[in-house]
Structure 1
Amino acid sequence: MLRFSANLSLLFTEVELIDRFAAARAAGFRAVEIQFPYELEAETIRRKLDEHDLQLVLFNVPAGDLLQGGEGLACVPEKQTRFREALALAVGYAQVLRPAAINVLPGRCLDPSRLDAYLATFKRNLCLTADMFKPLGVKTVFEAINSLDMPGFIIDTSAKLLAVQDELQRADICLQYDIYHMLRMGEDPAAFIAEHAGRIGHIQFADCPGRGQPGSGEADWTALFSAIDRSGYGGWVGAEYKPIGETSASFGWLNYA
């Protein structure tokens, strides 16, 4: 049976972040994830999780200017001091929140001639992250983001995800597999999950196109959820979509699962 987590950065945005924990629990979720939780103190989040009997399963290492069109932190050779500061902040939050996984966003390279250097920097930082989080019992994951929505992203296909994981050969570094982004790249998520479930540390989903809730786009969600269920994947499946309308009216997709 699939276990769904609610991404509080995209769901329940009708209310402030601090009130989304209660909204998620009222909707029936037992777990949540947050892209960047740093606007709230870690202790405040801990209290909300305990109050509503929720588990925080995932959050991201701070990514600098990535969401504003910049290159981010994790892959940029000139930003390594800033990445280490971001990593230290994430470690502090993880010590309080104990997530199942921490996500490192690879970032963009806006100068293609420097791509090899950016990839090498990211791989070093991915290993550094895993070294920091393994003693906490937190697995490190990294994801591909489609290059249509985010041009220049250094890892934009599942093949590139696998290549990095193959090179590093570390059991504590897993894939974060985002169904929306791979659909956007024209890939077959059901086939990938069926073949590589053992390499995936976290799954997220949204429909494509539009990144709305399942049923708002063109994907076959009965087939996708069935593929995850049959694959043997035992982690959380994160609802990371932009609701079309009120969040509370967007959960018809549960009928597909």
Structure 2
Amino acid sequence: MKLCANLSLMFTEVPLLERFAKARACGFESVEIQFPYEESVEDLVKAKEAAQVEIVLINVPAGDLMTGGEGLASVPELTEDYSQALDLCIQYATALEVKAVNVLAGRCLDAEKETKYWQTFEWNLVKTADALVEHNILTTFEAINTKDMPGFLVHRAEHLWSLMDRLNHSNIKAQYDLYHMAMMGENLWHDLSTKSDQIGHIQFADMPGRGEPGTGGLALKQFFQIIEDSTYGGYVAAEYKPTQQTEETLNWMGPRVMPS
């Protein structure tokens, strides 16, 4: 597997710009960042180049989503705000030479508006994919469990596959998060075995605590083997909340770990 580390959740013992070197010292040649926008593009480029790692994925800015709001990508009244967020994302994504950009659907807090929110999200997702294909950057979208994020629009595996079928866009694939899908009781064996051609990025954490492998009940080693045996050729990102200093939680990497 092509492993990468999520610098938004891991190595948080140090500031973001120092996490690149930390990750590299632990054997990661690739990283991802949820929202890199608090740092300048120039500083991020310097940090990644100094550490000799690549940034494989970032998210489009999501407005107030992380503080309990609905976000940007599905709210009909915020299409202009989403367009501005996408412009900013493209500036970062192209400068950082990322492989993929993830679009967070966000919440719908009024069930009566759900149909319109789905329409808006699909429109914004296609708009994003059309814009990014010119830069050879893949567009992904993910399902997030409704226990951690109540009201999240895309929250079932079926949402991923049905939307892929409806849009049938060559530059859109699903981002499949083992933690979120396990929290929703989805059939991870089935999805990883039969849907690998529709998956553009994979993330993992143990569950239910979202800690490192071995802190919960998810058979991650088995899932890693399924991924390796499948046709999936993308990155597999550790996106967990370490229960202790990050360097002490990497035993699951085995011989990949490099001496610090």
Bin for the TM-score computed over the shorter chain: over 0.9
Which residue matches 2:140? 141
| Equivalent in the alignment of 2:212 | 213
Q: What is aligned with 2:246?
A: 247
Helix, strand or coil at the partner of 2:148: coil
* Residue equivalent to 1:172: 171
| Amino acid across the alignment from 2:59 | N
Deviates more, 1:178-187 or 1:46-55: 46-55
**Corresponding residue for residue 11 of structure 2:** 12
Please tell me whether residue 94 in structure 1 is matched to residue 89 in structure 2. no
Instruction: Please name the residue that 2:77 is paired with.
Output: 78
User: Is residue 2:65 matched to residue 1:69?
Assistant: no
Q: Provide the rounded CA distance (Å) in 2 between the counterparts of 1:221 and 1:117.
A: 37
Gaps in structure 2 of 5+ consecutive residues: none
Sequence identity percentage: 47
How many residues are matched? 256
**In 1: Cα distance, 2:120 partner to 2:244 partner:** 41
Per the alignment, in what secondary structure is the counterpart of residue 136 of structure 1? coil
Unaligned ranges ≥5, structure 1: none
Report the TM-score when normalising by structure 2: 0.97
> Whole-Å Cα distance in 2 between the matches of residues 188 and 80 of structure 1?
34
| 1:141 and 1:175 in contact (8 A); partners too | yes
Q: How does 1:150-165 map to 2 (within 5 A)?
A: 150-165=149-164
Partner of residue 39, structure 2: 40
CA contact (8 A) 1:63 1:72 kept: yes
- Aligned to 1:72, the other structure's residue is in SS state coil
State the shift of 1:256 in Å: 11
Give the Cα separation in 2 of the matches to 1:220 and 1:166: 29
Deviation at 1:225, TM superposition (A): 0.5
CA-atom RMSD in angstroms = 1.1
Task: Judge conservation of contact 1:221–1:256 (CA < 8 Å) in 2.
Answer: no
Paired position in structure 2 for 1:24:
23
Q: What is the CA–CA distance in structure 2 between the aligned matches of 1:255 and 1:97, rounded to whole Å?
A: 29
The one-letter code matched in structure 2 to 1:55 is E
| 2:193 alignment counterpart | 194
How far apart, in 1, do the equivalents of 2:239 and 2:134 lie?
28
Contact 1:42-1:96 at 8 Å conserved across structures = yes
Question: Contact 1:157/1:182 (CA < 8 Å) preserved in 2?
Answer: yes
User: CA separation of 1:112/1:55 partners in 2, compared to 1, >3 Å: closer, same or farther?
Assistant: same
Instruction: Report if the CA contact (8 A) 1:104-1:142 is conserved.
Output: yes
- CA–CA distance in 2 between the matches of 1:51 and 1:224? 33
Q: Measure, in 1, the Cα distance between the counterparts of 2:26 and 2:41.
A: 23
Whole-angstrom distance in 2 between the partners of 1:86 and 1:68: 17
CA distance in 2, matches of 1:148, 1:140: 25
3-state DSSP of counterpart to 2:195: helix
**Deviation of 1:188 (Å):** 2.1
Instruction: Extract structure 1 runs of 4+ deviating beyond 6 A.
Output: none
The separation in 2 between residues aligned to 1:131 and 1:83, in whole angstroms, is: 15
C-alpha distance in 2, partners of 1:205/1:220? 11
Q: Distance in 1 between matches of 2:59 and 2:72?
A: 12
Distance change (3 Å), C-alpha of 1:255 and 1:26: closer
Give SS of 2:213's match.
coil
Q: Distance in 1 between matches of 2:5 and 2:39?
A: 18
Give the drift of 1:60. Answer: 0.1
- Helix, strand or coil at the partner of 1:238: strand
